[in-house]
Structure 1
Amino acid sequence: MKKIWWQGEIVYQIYPKSFSDSNHDGIGDLKGITSKLDYLNDLGITMLWICPIYPSPMDDNGYDISDYFGVAPEFGTLQDLEELIEEAIKSGIKIILDLVVNHTSDEHNWFKDVLANPNSKYKDYYVIKEGKTKPTNWRSVFGGSVWEKLPGRNEYYFHSFGQKQPDLNWENPELRQEIYNMVNWWLDKGISGFRIDAITFIKKDLTWTNLPADGVDGLSKVTKSGRNMPGINVFLKELQRETFTKHQCVTIAEAPGVGYDELGQFIGEDGFFDMIFDFKYADLDVKSGSEWFVRLPWTFRELNDKIMNSQEAIQRYGWGANFIENHDQPRATTKYLQKKARNTDAVKTLGAMYFFLKGTPFIYQGQELGMINFARETASDFNDLSSIDQYQRSINEGLTPEEALHIVNLRSRDNSRTPFPWSAEENGGFSTTAPWLKVTESYNEINAAAQVGVDGSIYEFYKEMIDFRQHGKYSETLVYGDIARLPLESDEMIAYKRIGQSETIYAYFNFGNETLNLSNSRAKELIFETAKGTKLENGQIQLPANTGILVKS
C-alpha cells in the first residue's frame, strides 16, 4: 500500500461516560475530555476515538441513538464538542466518532412516529413484518428473539441487539440517503473520521427462514442470517461513495463475520473502509463473542498463531487496527495474563507484543495503567445488557449461580467501562459524587497519579514505547515494514519479525516463568526491551520470564 496519514496514528479510545467528570454529576462528559488533553498529549496520543456522545436513553450506553445530530445532555452540548475538536487540533490530536447506523433507539423520532401512526412514512425505515406470530426463530445478540411486537398490532419489528434498538431497513434508498446526509454533516464539523459500529449487520437474509435451534431456548443466533449477508457490498460501496470518499477521513470498521478471504472487499485501496478490527484472537477464550458460558482453554502458542494468521491475512489486502482492549472486551491483563495480571513486567510485555505488530495501534482508556478486571459480587451489580443476558443464559445452560457469576465477571463489558481512576481519592478521583457505575476495586493502587512521571510505571513504559515507534531510529520499519512469523521455541512465547527496506527487526516475547534460550544468528543489537536482564551474545539470546525484546539484524 502507498503511505497514508492514518497509518502512523496512535489512537486512544475514550468511553465518555467513564473518562472524566467535569461537573461532578457522576457521569463523564466532553469538558472532562478537553481537560485531559494534556495527559493524552504527554502520553503521545495523536487521535481520539470517542464512543457515542449522541442523545440516547442509554439502554445500551449510547449505542441506542435517539438523535443523530445532537449531543447527549449528560455529556454537554454541541458547542462543547466543537470546543473539544478545536482544542484537540491545537494539541496535534485528531477526533473520530462512533458511527452507529445498523439501528436507532426506539426513542428516535422516526420510530416514535411508527408507534404513533400505523401508516407512518417512517415504517419502511425499519424492518417490520406483519403476522400473528414471530416471523423467525432468530436470537438477538443480547438474548431473546430478534422480533418484538408493535403494541396493538399484528406487526413485529426486528432488533439484532437490544429490544430498544430497532434495526434500520437498509433496503430503503430513502433511509440510506438520510444516513449519508448525517455522515457528511458530521464530517463537515471537522472530525477526522469514524469507527463504524456493527456494520456487517445491515444486510439480512430476506427469505426470513427458521434455522435449527442452537440453544436450550429454541432459538438460533442472528449472526447466521443477519450478518454479512450476500448483497451487503452494494450498500457498503454506496456508503463509501456518498460519504467517505468526499472527505479526507479515516474509517475503521467493526465488521464481525468477515472471513479472511473477503478482506479484499473491506480494506485496501478499493475496500469499503480503511482499517478493520479482527476479533478472532480477542475471543480465543470463549466459544464465541455471544456465548461466554462456553469457556475454552488456550496457550500462548495458539494466541501467536491467531495473531499471525490475522496479520498475514490483513497484510495481504490492506491495513489493520491492532488492539487488545476496547469497550466490549474485559481487561487484557486479566484475560491474557490471568494470575500475572498485576505483574508489571508481564503487563509491559503484553503491551509491546501487540503494539509493534503491523497496523495502527489502538489503546483503550486505562490500558496504559495496566487496569485489571473487577469482581462483582451479585448479578445486580452489572449495568451492561450483554452481561445481564449472559448471566441468565449461563443459568439456563446449566451453570450454578456461582459459576455464572464467575463467567460474567471474566467477560463482562463493564470491566472496561468502570470510571477512569485518576487518583487514589474517593471514586478514583473521577467524580466527587457516586459515579454511574461502581469503580473497580483496585483504583487506590492502579491510577494515573501513581504512575505519571514515575520511573518504571506502566504509563511511562507506554509513553516510551509510543515515542520509540513514532520518533525512534527504527520508526520507518516499525510503522510501514512488512511482518512475518518466526518459529516458536516455547509454547509460552510470541514471536515475529518486521521487515524494512534497510533492516529486519526481530520481536520476542516470553510469557512463561522461565528464561528462554533462543537462537538467532542474525541478531546483532538489542534495540528495545520491556525489562532489563536480556543477554545477547553471538546470536544466542537469554530472554528472562515476562520480558519482551526487539533485536536488529
Structure 2
Amino acid sequence: MEKEKNWWKKEIIYQIYPKSFKDSNHDGIGDLKGIIEKLPYLKELGVTTLWICPIFSSPMVDNGYDIADFEDINPQFGTMEDVDFLLAEAKKFDLKVMLDLVINHTSDEHVWFQKALADKDSPYRDYYIFKEGKEPPNNWRSIFGGSVWEKVPNEECYYLHVFDKRQPDLNWENREMRQELYAMINRWLEKGIAGFRIDSITFIKKDQDYGSLPADGVDGLVSCKEKTRNRPGIENFLHELRRETFDKHNCVTVGEAPGVSYEEFPTYVGEDGYFSMIFDFHYADIDVESGSDWFKRTNWTTVEFKDLLMQSQAALQNAGWGANFIENHDQPRALSKFVAQEFQSADSALGLGAMYFFLRGTPFIYQGQELGMVNAERTSISQFDDISSIDNYARSIKEGFSEKEALRFVNQRSRDNSRTPMPWNDSQYGGFSDQKPWLSMTEEYPKVNAIGNSVFKGYKKMISLRQQSVISDILQVGDIAFIDNLPEAVIGYRRIAKTGSLISYTNFSSEKVAFELEKPINELHFDSHNQTFSGTKIELLPYQSILISE
C-alpha cells in the first residue's frame, strides 16, 4: 500500500464483474483465474486499481450481493488461494485490488440468519429485524418489488428485507453485530486489499417508528426509501464504521450513497467524511423519473444533463472528492442510454468517455466500456437473469402497460445490459468461454471486441494523459470551472492548476454545433473524432469531445 495520503485521487479504477469477465475453467462463468489471465490487458490499458464485484460465498440470488459468508469464496469463482494469488500477481503489475463491501444485508443462507430462524430466543435474531404480528408491520415496498416483510415459517412474525426476500437486512442497532462486521472488514484489509466499494450503505439506518405511509402504487404499497434510506442517526453508524476499520488502514473507500443531498456531501466525503469518495447518481439517472421505479422513463434534454453534471461537480468540489462514472454493473451501457441510435459508434463512445473522464475526481471504467459496448436486446422476459428486471417487468404489467411495453422498459434499463460476458474476440462466445455463457452475449459473434479496438486505444490515450504526461497534474488535482457562454448542446469546462489550465468541450447532441473560441487552440491533447481545427471558429460533430490548451 502506498504511504501517500489520499493516494486514491490519482488512481484509475477499473470495475470487474467477475461472472462475466473471463472464464478459465470451461463452465461458462467468469472466475478469479480468468481475471489473473487478463492482468496484462488491464496493465496495457493503463488502469491502476481493480474493483471486483462480490466473489464471496453466495447462492447468487442477486449475483453475489447476497452474501452467505463474508470470508469464504464462491466456488464458481475459485478459492481463497486464488484470491491470494490474484493479489500477488496484481502487485507484480503494480495493480491494486479493492472489493465490494455488502453490509446492509446478508443472504438468508448466512449462518447468522439460519440460527435466527431456528430459535426465536437466539441472540442472532437481534442481528436482523424481526417484528411479531399476524400482519406485516407496515406497507413499505421493497426495492425489488413486493412487501419488505417476509413471514417467518410457523410463527406470527415477519423479518425485513429492503431488497429481495432472500436478502434479510442486518440490524445495525445491535452493537455486537456491528463489532463482528468491523472485525471481518479489518481482516480483509490486513490481507492486503486496497479498500472497498461500499454497497447500499445509506440503507443501514431504519426509521424506528416503522410507520406506514400513503400508498404510491396500485399494489397498495409505498417505496421504502423514505423510511429506510439516509435516515437521521446514520451518521453515528458511519462515524463508528470509519473509526473502527478504515482509519486503521491507508485504504480507499467508495460509498454507494443514493439518497444523499448535496448539502450532506461534506459529511460523506469532506475532510472528516465517512468515505474517500462517493458516487453521485443525479446525472447518471437522468433517464429515470425522480422518486419512481426505474422503468418510468424521462424525455431528458442535453441542457438538463449539463445542469445536473455542473451541480454534481460543484457539490463534489466544495465537499471533497468524487467517483466519476458513466457505466457500472447497475447501469445500462452509456452509448445506448445517452447517444442517438444512428450515432452509436466508436467515435461517440470516446466522446462520451472524454466528457466525463477529464472531470475533477477519480475516473471509473466499467468492463467493456473501453470497447464501446452497447445494450443487449432481448425478446422475452425469460431471457433475463436480473431479479430487479424481472420484478420491474411484473410491476409494469400491474401498472397497466402491455407485455411489449414492459419488455421495452426492461430492455432499456436492465442491469443485464452491462452484465453480458466480455467480448475478447469475434469467436462464437467472444473468447469469454468455449462453453455457452451463463448469460447470453450482446452478440454471439461480437463485432465489438477487444481485438484492434479503436475505443480501447482512445481510452488508453486518455489514461496516459491523466497519468503520465505534462498535463497530468492539471487532470489529477486541478480545480474545475464550467464555461457558461456556450451553445446549449456543448458541455465545456476548465481544469485549472498552478501548472496551467485545460479546456474540455463536448457536443452532447446529434447535431453539429459551431461556436467561436476566445482564442485559437494552443495544443490539441485529445479529439474523439480526429478532426483538424484552425483559427477560433470551431465545429464539433455529434458527440465529439476535445481537450485543449488555450
- 1:315 aligned counterpart, secondary structure: helix
Residues 529-551 of structure 1 deviation map (CA, whole Å, 9 limit, x = unaligned): 112224231x3333333321112
- 2:192 aligned counterpart, secondary structure: coil
Partner residue, 2:333 = 331
Partner residue, 1:518 = 515
Distance in 1, matches of 2:313 and 2:513, equals 25
1:401-480 to structure 2, matched below 5 A, reads 401-441=403-443, 443-451=445-453, 457-480=454-477
Q: Is this contact kept in 2: 1:521–1:540, CA < 8 A?
A: no
Letter of the 1:483 counterpart = I
Sort the Cα spacing of 1:249 and 1:11 in 2 relative to 1 into closer, same or farther, 3 A: same
Tell me if 1:535 matches 2:533. Answer: yes
Name stretches of at least 5 consecutive residues in structure 1 with no aligned partner: 452-456
Letter of the 1:34 counterpart = I
Distance in 1, matches of 2:291 and 2:345, equals 27
Judge which range, 359-368 or 516-525, deviates more.
Answer: 516-525
Partner residue, 1:267 = 269
Distance in 2, matches of 1:20 and 1:247, equals 31
1:231-250 to structure 2, matched below 5 A, reads 231-250=233-252
Distance in 1, matches of 2:340 and 2:147, equals 35
1:324-363 to structure 2, matched below 5 A, reads 324-340=326-342, 342-363=344-365
- 1:460 aligned counterpart, secondary structure: helix
Letter of the 2:114 counterpart = K
Return the match for 2:496 from 472, 487, 499. 499
Residues 8-28 of structure 1 deviation map (CA, whole Å, 9 limit, x = unaligned): 100000000110000011111
Shift of 1:514: 4.2
Q: Is this contact kept in 2: 1:299–1:492, CA < 8 A?
A: no
Letter of the 1:489 counterpart = L
Q: Is this contact kept in 2: 1:494–1:510, CA < 8 A?
A: yes
Partner residue, 2:255 = 253
- 2:238 aligned counterpart, secondary structure: helix
Shift of 1:504: 2.0
Judge which range, 52-61 or 389-398, deviates more.
Answer: 389-398
Distance in 2, matches of 1:319 and 1:330, equals 25
Residues 387-437 of structure 1 deviation map (CA, whole Å, 9 limit, x = unaligned): 001101111111110011001000000000011111111111111111111
Question: CA RMSD of the aligned region, Å?
Answer: 1.4
Partner residue, 2:190 = 188
1:42-121 to structure 2, matched below 5 A, reads 42-121=44-123
Residues 204-226 of structure 1 deviation map (CA, whole Å, 9 limit, x = unaligned): 00001100111111111111100
Partner residue, 1:279 = 281
Residues 127-147 of structure 1 deviation map (CA, whole Å, 9 limit, x = unaligned): 111111100100000000000
Tell me if 1:124 matches 2:126. Answer: yes
Return the match for 1:372 from 362, 368, 374. 374
Sort the Cα spacing of 1:430 and 1:288 in 2 relative to 1 into closer, same or farther, 3 A: farther
Q: Is this contact kept in 2: 1:536–1:542, CA < 8 A?
A: no
Shift of 1:35: 0.4
- 2:188 aligned counterpart, secondary structure: helix
- 2:33 aligned counterpart, secondary structure: helix
Shift of 1:502: 3.1
Q: Is this contact kept in 1: 2:48–2:94, CA < 8 A?
A: yes
- 1:225 aligned counterpart, secondary structure: helix
Name stretches of at least 5 consecutive residues in structure 2 with no aligned partner: none
Distance in 1, matches of 2:180 and 2:420, equals 34
- 2:123 aligned counterpart, secondary structure: coil
Distance in 2, matches of 1:116 and 1:468, equals 58
Return the match for 2:547 from 527, 546, 550. 550
Q: Is this contact kept in 2: 1:281–1:307, CA < 8 A?
A: yes
Q: Is this contact kept in 2: 1:423–1:450, CA < 8 A?
A: no
Distance in 2, matches of 1:522 and 1:312, equals 26
Distance in 1, matches of 2:288 and 2:65, equals 24
Distance in 2, matches of 1:273 and 1:279, equals 16
Distance in 1, matches of 2:444 and 2:503, equals 35
1:161-310 to structure 2, matched below 5 A, reads 161-288=163-290, 291-310=293-312
Q: Is this contact kept in 2: 1:304–1:495, CA < 8 A?
A: no
- 1:287 aligned counterpart, secondary structure: coil
Distance in 1, matches of 2:298 and 2:416, equals 21
Residues 255-302 of structure 1 deviation map (CA, whole Å, 9 limit, x = unaligned): 100000001110021000000000011110111486123210112221
Sort the Cα spacing of 1:405 and 1:32 in 2 relative to 1 into closer, same or farther, 3 A: same
Letter of the 1:124 counterpart = D
Residues 165-213 of structure 1 deviation map (CA, whole Å, 9 limit, x = unaligned): 0000000000000000000010011000000000000000000110011
Q: Is this contact kept in 2: 1:533–1:544, CA < 8 A?
A: no
Return the match for 1:155 from 151, 154, 157. 157
Letter of the 1:27 counterpart = I
Q: Is this contact kept in 2: 1:114–1:122, CA < 8 A?
A: yes
Letter of the 1:189 counterpart = K
Q: Percent identity?
A: 56
Distance in 2, matches of 1:358 and 1:207, equals 41
Tell me if 1:484 matches 2:486. Answer: no
Letter of the 1:427 counterpart = Y
Partner residue, 1:454 = none
Judge which range, 482-491 or 304-313, deviates more.
Answer: 482-491
Q: Is this contact kept in 1: 2:343–2:510, CA < 8 A?
A: no
Number of residue pairs aligned between Structure 1 and Structure 2? 546
Distance in 1, matches of 2:5 and 2:493, equals 22
Q: Is this contact kept in 1: 2:377–2:411, CA < 8 A?
A: yes
